Amino acid sequence: MTPLVHQSTGRTLRAGLILLATWSVVLCLWLWIALSPWIAALMLATTLPAAWDFVIARRAWLRLDDGVLDWGSGRARGTVALDRIETVRFETRLDLSPRVRLVLRDGRRLTLPQDALPPGGILQTALEARGVHTERHPFAGF
């Protein structure tokens, strides 16, 4: 079976435009309505993690073949053999963000990094095609 390979990076046009728009709005608020500099600094500080990801172009990836699931995000990496996975839980949190948890046969749970996940139901379909049990849980808690 063909391996599923997904890669993403923090340096995208969308991320750059959102950062630029956010900084522009804060600058305009500061200049035009005399927004307090410390409030402007706090607002800009919330964008620093996204700006850092954009600058270093942090790479996230996921690879699924017939025997192994590998993933990585920044410096975090993981590998699990498919025969060690009891079930894979696909959860949609209340803020509509996805979360994928691997429940291993020894009882441990591993959460895959959100930025390494492929869009849509591609991962669930690929896992089911390889005989891995999956569960979908809409609107799970945070």
Please report, for the chain, the start and end positions of each structural domain, with discontinuous segments joined by +: 4-8+59-140, 9-56
Q: Is the pLDDT of residue 89 over 90?
A: yes
pLDDT tens across 111-121, in order? 999 999 998 88
The pLDDT of 84-113, averaged and rounded, is 93
How many angstroms separate the Cα of 4 from the Cα of each of 46, 124, 129?
Answer: 34, 11, 11
Percent of residues, the chain, with pLDDT higher than 90: 76
**Tokens representing 137?**
């849980």
The pLDDT of 89-105, averaged and rounded, is 91
Q: Is the pLDDT of residue 74 over 90?
A: no
pLDDT of residue 142: 54
Helix and strand totals (H; E) in the chain: 4, 8
Bigger pLDDT: 29 vs 58: 29
Entry pTM: 0.78
CATH topology of domain 4-8+59-140: PH-domain like (2.30.29)
Q: How far apart are the first and last CA of the chain?
A: 35
Name residue 80's beta-bridge partners. Answer: 69
Of 115, 120, 114, the C-alpha closest to 101 is 114
Angle at 138 between CA 134 and CA 142, to 5 degrees: 105
